[in-house]
Structure 1
Amino acid sequence: MSDRPRIRPGRRNRERPSTPEAAGPGALAQLGVVLRTPARAAEPLLAQAPKAWQRILPFAIAGVFVVTLLPVTITVLASDYGLGGGWSGALGVAQTVPLLLAVTRPVRAWAVVLIADTIGALLLLQADKVASHPWPWPPMTIVGYLLLMACLGLRESVRTLVGVWLATGAVGAALGFFPPAGTSNTAALLFVLAGVVLALTGALRGYGDAQRRIAEQESISEAERARRTLLEERARIARELHDVVAHHMSVITVQADSAPYRLPDLTEPVREEFAAIAASARESLGEMRRLLTVLRGDGTERAEGEKAPQPGIDRLQQLVETTVRAGQPVELSLAAGAARTAPPAVDLSAYRIVQEALANVVRHAPGAATRVSVTVDADEVLVVVVNGPARGAVVALESSGTGHGLVGMRERVRLTGGTLDTGPLPDGGFRVAARLPLNDATQETT
């Protein structure tokens, strides 16, 4: 029985803005977020991408490079450089297969590939046809190494990237002291290209991280704004309650207390009636002060306000007596030990439900015979308030789902995990029945 308005599926999608500016970050920003380095070690690239094909894409690209570069590397080393077939095959595998590892562990893959490339450059010193060819890094070695640099740039920190780049330049510079005759040195070329790839991919990763931090900060700011709005609304409600309700209740208390002194000829029953009015007004003021403390304060003040004792089942007798003195015939049937059995949440909810039900009877069926019953078994507390038809013309009875009183009852019952049944009776009366489970309420309060 929820009073919340129903929202048709798809409404949110239809109301999204269609302009690129209002739809969110651009394509570059989205790509940067997708390419953001995962925080956990050994997690594949694009592991946080929203679509499955995006998560598979790094493995597919690495596989295509390995399948393409492996036979090309073996063929070029054996045919063009004149290296032996066994060494060509071993170097081809060592220089290309580790590219698959770069998707999850790029630093380890880089270490393996750099060692294999260095060994290959040393072996090419003795190759028969190395003259007039690029050395120490053949073209296919440069292509595979640049792919490895891209994986590193999307995963590792700036310090690691600088270290990798400097190590690449140092190895190339060291090999440059022993160049074979007639070769074109490619150490500087790889050093420059590796730096460019590392810079671009590192900047892309940093941009994605910046977008993520901005989104997180906006989420935190939105939560803070919502919390501030809630606190401001509470303060506004507290001011209105104080200005409107507390003032009038104070006036009622003063008038009721001073009536016997201002009107000395009052009879004893009338004096008792004024005393009862003053006592009820004081009790209402006390509950109002506790409510204002909760609405005005933060966590500390709210905790102080919640330390005040709350009414419960043990005060139903007093509530019924007050209602009877107001001229409403009410009978109470209260199970023995109900207040001791019920946990605090159920205890307070039962009292508030009876209080609201009796208030509705006084407003809408004054003078109607009313019966309040509170029973307890092993699993639940059953609260039933039934009134007969009103005597004379009164305001129409509230129907289920309308009125703040019934809404408040449903909310209290929902919080305790119970059920509420309300509705008119055939004879013109009204019935309120609430089942408040003991076990669920105990779990809620612990």
Structure 2
Amino acid sequence: MSTTGARVPGEEAAATRARSWSGLWWWTRRRSVALDVSLAAASALEASFEGATFAARIGVVTWLGALLGLLVGAVLVLRRRWPIAVVLVGIAVIPAQTGFILSVVGFYTLAASEVPRRLTGLLAGMSGVGTMVVSFVSIESSLRHSGSSSRLALPLVVIISVLVAFGLTAPPVLLGLYVRARRRLVESLRDRADGLERELELLAEKALERAEGARAAERARIAREMHDVVAHRVSLMVVHAAALKAVALKDPQKASVSAELLGDMGRQALMELRQMLGVLRSGSEPGTAPQARKSADPAVEAGGVPGPAPDAVEDAGPCLAELAQLVQESRAAGMGVELAVEGEQRPCGRRIEATVYRVVQEALTNVRKHAAGARAQVRLAYREAEVAVLIVNGPAEAMVVATALPSGGHGLTGMRERVTAHGGGFAAGPTPDGGFRVSAMVPTAP
């Protein structure tokens, strides 16, 4: 069972909470509001204490420095909306040695946002230079007031100032750039996963279409086989039944022969139907003939239901060696048929031979249906790379009463489908003398 789009209970609860939250200003989640307010509160307290300390150091009223520090630290609540403004405020209060949390969180937010990297680097450089200068002045002043002087004091102060500036500026910027790159990677992977999911859906749709096409082709192939077998055998049985009725009282011996032929036609029809039904069952039942299971069913490969191999029905069909028997059956039914074979007889493949046989069979059936009493000629030609067959019949004889045989109008269509499926050519149409002509050419080379 597919689990695409399924969610665990925790994810479903989170999604429900997200849908119930309408958003506040620029925040889209509750935890984002809580985080930013907490950071702003911590920054305000820290900046208020440092502002009061700086005000006392320069001789300004303490509460005024604390108030300014409180306002400066509270600016951090705007970091998601205006990260550049937050960083600029942090740079502005560097001389007062205030806003450590403001500066660190602001640079992290700036680097993780979609602000151009050049601008981020420029602001980080300004902050680094300002922090280095303030650190240098503070350390040098402390050393001077302590009364210590040394030749190594100045280089040491410079090194310490650079380290302090780098330590306060580089880590949040690098961490923000890493988070930004990771976020972009996750988004690209999500987009790629969505694209792959869409491609899989398209492939599944195409597979279903191929399965439906395979089923339709198989149904059409089975329908052609059933039509040929039933139409040919039953038409012969109807002709023999009519003859039996006509001579039953006049010529009992001839009636007995017709009855025997009628029984033979019925048994042959049942045998061919059982053969086809056996092939159809062999695709899904265990213990069946291995020949019917050799080739895979496209419908199964495409996710469809199991069925017979696509060519199993035709592979189990008749061959060209049985054409003489087919012509003899028509002659026994009172139809004048001549068979002529040209070229050297050779095996042409069971499917090709079954196709040519079915064309001749359906053509003779049509003669019995539509041209009662007409004579027919069957010419079979073995050529170098093809097998050709021609069936020509004259007009129906006026003295012969045609036996009423139903016609579905699918005979010529089925013959054409059979031949063109092998890349051959098919033609059918009336002749100038009022007869009908059917010709087919089937290539033997793959």
TM-score under structure 2 normalisation? 0.47
